[in-house]
Amino acid sequence: MTDSEFHQLADQFFERMELALDNHDGEIDYEGEGGLLKLLFENGSHIVINKQEPLHQIWVATKFDGHHFEYQDNQWTDNRGGGELNDFIVAAIEKQSGEKLALD
């Protein structure tokens, strides 16, 4: 994968995340800038999602742990547990904040 392809795929994910957050009826705030998206919850905790260009990965840091996702077989896959990024983010948000985000 080239750097350009990585950025295109990662940016698509970030755009979907921001759209889902904008359309969410709950209390999830976010800050996004330069390949980093920080989700802020009412309980004071947060989740950080960021692009790691040199490795062509998306990293996710939650209150509980961190995961690295690589683009394989048309999806972002956790290189540690094999899970898919969208499913992981939805579950992590619900576990950490109690809110269910609809991420298509």
Domains in the chain with CATH codes: 3-97 (3.30.920.10)
Mean pLDDT of 10-31: 94
Contacts of 32 (CB under 8 A, 6+ apart): 14, 18, 38
Residue type, 88: F
**Confidence (pTM):** 0.91
Mean pLDDT of 66-95: 94
Average pLDDT score over the chain: 94
The yes-or-no verdict on residue 81 having pLDDT over 90 is no
Taking only Cα atoms into account, the Rg of the chain, rounded to an integer number of angstroms, comes to 13
pLDDT grade, residue 80 (50/70/90)?
A: confident
pLDDT on residue 24: 93
pLDDT grade, residue 34 (50/70/90)?
A: confident
Q: Which of 104, 99, 98, 63 is nearest to 85 (CA)?
A: 104
Q: How many CA atoms lie less than 13 Å away from 20 in the CB half-sphere?
A: 18
Cα separation, 41 vs 96, whole angstroms: 8
* Count of CB atoms situated within 10 Å of the CB of 94: 12
